[in-house]
Chain A
């Protein structure tokens, strides 16, 4: 399981676009990149997943450069309700016990300011 590095925290004003970057220099060929969102006192919630280039859904976009050593989660026009912790997870579908050492990391705490 690839180790990921994200900023610990970010602040943004309402209505702005927010980009959160995750570094994963040792990503493997079969690894996917997945982002989760977690609100206080709740379990994480899946946001988006990608393998390469760009993926977009109704809530976010995920940009992945050609070398796949990083990825950027883009949240368009954030609102106060987007205040949460965002986790980047990189791995494949065949994780063995040894890969469970690193999981969701610390995530990025996004604070949206009125």
Chain B
């Protein structure tokens, strides 16, 4: 019954590896997001995506790429992992685009540790 789910919950990997985090929402929402929360607890949006538009935070390195096989899924692929990528990554969804004006439902987060 979880509205927004993410896998895995924890991910430990070596520098230079490529990894993916999966996200699924069963709310029927049309927009999904990826956020990064660093050790200082800043919560920064990385992407928002619906079936019409991908909006990318221009500060996000192109090693990060969202991939959506369908409306209910938005996976995050990370290439050539770096130490600074260590953080908690949250997936979220909302009905309607515009993350600041629409109620978002967040997943439980994936804690990524890069060694």
A residues with a Cβ closer than 8 A to B are 1, 31-32, 34, 36, 38, 41-46, 49, 85, 87, 89-101, 103-107
Contacts and interface: CB of A to CB of B under 8 A. Distances in A.
B70 interface: no
B42 A104 contact: yes
Given A97-B57, A97-B58, 5 more contacts: A41-B109, A42-B106, A91-B100, A94-B97, A103-B45
Contact of B35 (A46, A94, A103, A107): A103
Nearest to B36: A103
Contact of A100 (B45, B96, B102, B104): B45
B38 to A, nearest CB: 11
Contacts of A97: 55-58
Contacts of A42: 106, 108-109
Main secondary structure of the interface of B (DSSP, over half): loop
B74 interface: no
Contacts, number: 86
Interface residues of B, number: 30
A34 B43 contact: no
B41 to A, nearest CB: 6
Contacts of A105: 42-43
A93 B43 contact: no
Contacts of B59: 100-101
B90 interface: yes
B52 interface: no
A46 B103 contact: yes
B43 A104 contact: yes
Interface in B43-95: 43-45, 48, 55-59, 90, 92
A98 B58 CA distance: 7
Nearest to A101: B59
Contacts of B98: 91-95
Given A103-B45, A104-B42, A44 B58 contact: no
